[in-house]
Amino acid sequence: MTDKQPAAPEERLESSIFFIRGQKVMLSLHLAEIYGIEPRVMEQAIERNIGRFPEDALFQLSPEEFAALGARLAASARTAPYAFTRQGVAILSSALFDERALHESQESCAPTCSCRK
């Protein structure tokens, strides 16, 4: 028997990089996993922050591109994922951090705000 070891972080990241439309990109599915959030939450964050992304930093895969990635990826998503260039990943990280910080700030404020009534 062979024990399959989990992939090292660097290997996991490298296996999440695809060459699509002439660019190295990471897919929203994999980024959601890396950031520890559900893919639907990732999609919502992208839609709320779409104005932050320059045209060349983010694109949604066409149905043909999505199908070409294989059944494994197609089974893990209902819709074609977004693809992020290096710049797009940096912007996404910033957007997710801002949203998380805002949410945590609102949650920590709630107990003190309710005491004022």
| pLDDT single digits (tens) 45-79 | 889 889 989 999 999 999 888 888 876 665 667 78
Look at the chain and count its residues: 117
Q: Please calculate the CA angle 29-35-41 and round it to the nearest 5 degrees.
A: 60
Q: Are 28 and 46 in contact (CB under 8 A)?
A: yes
Tokens of 112: 């003190």
Distance CA 84, CA 49 (A): 14
21-54 per-position pLDDT tens digit: 999 999 998 898 888 888 888 888 889 889 989 9
Across residues 79-89, what is the average pLDDT?
90
- Three-state DSSP state, 19: strand
Predicted pLDDT at 112: 45
**How many angstroms separate the most distant Cα atoms in the chain?**
65
pLDDT digits (tens, 9 = 90+) for 9-25: 667 677 889 999 999 99
